[in-house]
Chain A
Amino acid sequence: MALQLYKIATVEVGSAGASSIDFTSIPQGYTDLKLVLSGRTNKAQPQENIQLYFNTSNSNFSFKMIIGDGSAAASYGTSNSQVADVPASTMTANTFGNMEIYIPNYAGSNNKSFSLDSVDEGNQTTVYSYLTAGLWSQTAAITGIKIAPAGANNFVQYSTAILYGIL
């Protein structure tokens, strides 16, 4: 049986850093998309939020999430597309956070519900993990995905994102 999981593109951040990671001109021939990030930013804090864009827009998103911080679990809802954390410059060195987004039927004409997980692990007391239900209330096909540090900061070298297409 044929392989049905395809790597569409990989972005590896170089020594200069990057203010965002962009996937453009996403092929429309798959049924689902999966985006995996290993990331860290240069913000002078332990963590930094990641802002999500579909087709260059960070509007029309809604989310509900479960958050664990090592001592308690809580749940929040938001329309702000700053929905994940990665470690930043004061977090344990050499530690990168992970984020995974699964988007079923990204090329369809309905609104786009998706699943998002993220963690910002490090050797300190408070770190965060997120289990998130996401909705982009737009009927347009998703042709581009952008992820960026929420502040005016950069992903640091060795941050990597891979976009997969699933048939």
Chain B
Amino acid sequence: MAKTATYSLIASTTLTGTSAQIDFNSIPGTFTDLVMVIRGVSNSNDNIFYRFNGSSSAIYSRTDLYGTGTTAASIRATSQTQGRLTNYGYPSSTAGEQNTIWHIMDYANTTTYKTSLCRSNRASSGVDAMVNLFSSTSAITSISLATNTFTGTANWQSGTTVKLYGIQAGSN
């Protein structure tokens, strides 16, 4: 019988105050994929940005398919210094309004660039289905999250929760 695949909590954060950045460091390379679940609370409708391994090189690109309730469209950005997880499904200042579910595939390999798929949802503003690319062959060992931008002034607010899971493929 095949071994059941596992879905294991690596780390979680629940903010009780503000924080400019949320960091997950020393991510073990023993899983096949990562899943991050974010319930974001921001200063004021600020988008979620990320960096892998602390890199601010212009090696992030993305495609967003989004719906606003009246418009469905897609936008593209390349050579960015940070990745992005929201466009219309951004966190507001009210807890419980927003969620982001982010799948990062084959994050620990040292051969290929890292592709990830993300859904961000806020029913009062819109929905995003995003593909992000981190053009680096380095294994992902840390993930940093910011609202607005990494150079902006917006902070994560109390009530934000972030959980990082590891997915382990089943084996025979």
Contacts and interface: CB of A to CB of B under 8 A. Distances in A.
Given A4-B165, A133-B89, A113 B121 contact: yes
A118 to B, nearest CB: 13
B27 to A, nearest CB: 13
Interface in B81-114: 88-89, 94-99, 101
Contact of B124 (A75, A108, A132, A135): A135
A103 B172 CA distance: 31
Interface stretch (A16-24, A46-54, A57-65, A88-96): A57-65
A111 interface: yes
Interface stretch (B5-13, B17-25, B49-57, B136-144): B5-13
B67 A105 contact: no
Contacts of B124: 62, 64, 135
B159 to A, nearest CB: 7
Interface stretch (A36-44, A66-74, A151-159): A66-74
A74 B67 CA distance: 7
A113 B8 contact: no
Nearest to B70: A75
Contacts of A117: 119
B99 A75 contact: no
Nearest to A116: B121
A117 B89 CA distance: 15
Given A104-B37, A112-B96, A74 B8 contact: no
Interface residues of A, number: 37
A131 interface: yes
**Interface SS majority for chain A:** strand
Given A1-B8, A66-B66, A111 B71 contact: no
Contacts, number: 118
Contact of A132 (B68, B101, B127): B127
A108 to B, nearest CB: 7
A73 B129 CA distance: 13
A105 B68 CA distance: 24
A167 B126 contact: no
B72 A67 contact: yes
Contacts of B166: 1
Contacts of B126: 64, 75, 133
Contact of A3 (B4, B37, B121, B163): B4
A31 interface: yes
A77 B120 CA distance: 16
Given A66-B72, A75-B127, A131-B65, 7 more contacts: A3-B6, A32-B37, A111-B97, A113-B97, A114-B99, A115-B121, A131-B67
Interface of A: 1-5, 31-32, 62-67, 73-77, 102, 104-105, 108, 110-115, 117, 131-135, 139, 166-167
16 contacts: A62-B123, A64-B68, A64-B125, A65-B127, A66-B127, A75-B66, A102-B99, A113-B97, A115-B101, A115-B119, A115-B121, A131-B65, A131-B129, A133-B120, A133-B123, A133-B127
